Amino acid sequence: GDAVPACQGCHGIDGNGSDEMGTPRLAYQVDTYILKQLTDFAENKRTDDTMYQMNDIAKALSPQDRKDLAAYVHTLKSPYIGSNLDQLRRDGAEVGDPAQGKMIAEYGAPDHGVPACKSCHGFHGRSAGRMYPAIGGQNYVYLKHELESWRNGANTSAADIAAGKREDNARVNDYMGQMRAVASHMTDADIANVAAFLTLSKPNSPGNPRTPSHM
């Protein structure tokens, strides 16, 4: 209806999102994941603590609207750009080291209990299955913020979630608490490094559009 603002106001015409606003890339995102997030925003199972708009927007959408939107953003074929880390550094953002982030994405950090990102999210975070979102090519500011939010939500009990109690900047709508468990072991440096690697990640290896490269 008229009450719903255009998605592109915050997420861009191409659905690539914005580091300035902290909004995520929607293009190519797994439709079932988008649908779950819109539903969770509508039911206050997830709180938009960046722009403070998504809860109201999602409530104003009908269940069919949410399905249609989720299907639509999955079809957006804007190129994988990711964040301009040099520009973010110039702007004073704290930017991690992509090379160190790659090690965690591929192999995890077993010495302090962090599993490999790719075990759930696939090669370069390009998504795997219907439940796990694409995180490769996602915006750095958003990735860093969400990992911090999962970590902040790690100590929220099931009873608190059911009662709608959670700290500010705590995200708790992950499947079986998986992301909270992962993020609870991540240091600030881990989070910055993984976000820096994933934002630059492309879904395919050079020279072959279908197969991941074997590093």
Structure tokens at 120: 């759930």
Contact 46, 40 (CB under 8 A): yes
Q: Which residue positions form the known binding site? A: 7, 10-11, 54, 117, 120-121, 179
Contact 85, 200 (CB under 8 A): yes
How do residues 21-68 score in pLDDT, each as one tens digit? 999 999 989 999 999 999 999 999 999 999 999 999 999 999 999 999
Fold of the 80-207 domain? Cytochrome Bc1 Complex; Chain D, domain 2 (1.10.760)
Integer Rg of the chain from CA: 17
* Spatial separation of the C-alpha atoms in residues 148 and 175, rounded to whole Å: 17
Q: Which residue positions form the known binding site for heme c? A: 7, 10-11, 54, 117, 120-121, 179
In the chain, residues under CATH classification 1.10.760.10 are: 1-79, 80-207
Structure tokens at 2: 């008229």
How many Cα atoms occupy the beta-carbon half-sphere of 210 within 13 Å? Answer: 0
Work out the number of other CB atoms within 10 angstroms of the CB of residue 78: 15
Q: What is the pLDDT of residue 160?
A: 86
How do residues 114-131 score in pLDDT, each as one tens digit? 999 999 999 999 998 788
Between 167 and 156, where is the model more confident?
156
If you average pLDDT over residues 201-214, what whole number do you get? Answer: 70
| Ordered DSSP codes for 151-185 | HHTTT--HHHHHTT---TT----SGGGHHHHHHTT
How many Cα atoms occupy the beta-carbon half-sphere of 122 within 13 Å? Answer: 20
If you average pLDDT over residues 144-161, what whole number do you get? Answer: 92
Residue 172 C-alpha from the chain's centroid? 13
* Spatial separation of the C-alpha atoms in residues 39 and 78, rounded to whole Å: 25
pTM reported for the whole predicted model: 0.92
**CATH (residue range 1-79):** 1.10.760.10
Q: What is the pLDDT of residue 2?
A: 53
Q: At residue 213, does pLDDT exceed 60?
A: no
% the chain with pLDDT above 90: 77
How do residues 62-96 score in pLDDT, each as one tens digit? 999 999 999 999 999 888 789 999 999 999 999 99
Question: Which 3 state secondary structure label does DSSP give 138?
Answer: coil
Q: What is the pLDDT of residue 114?
A: 98
Q: What is the pLDDT of residue 212?
A: 63
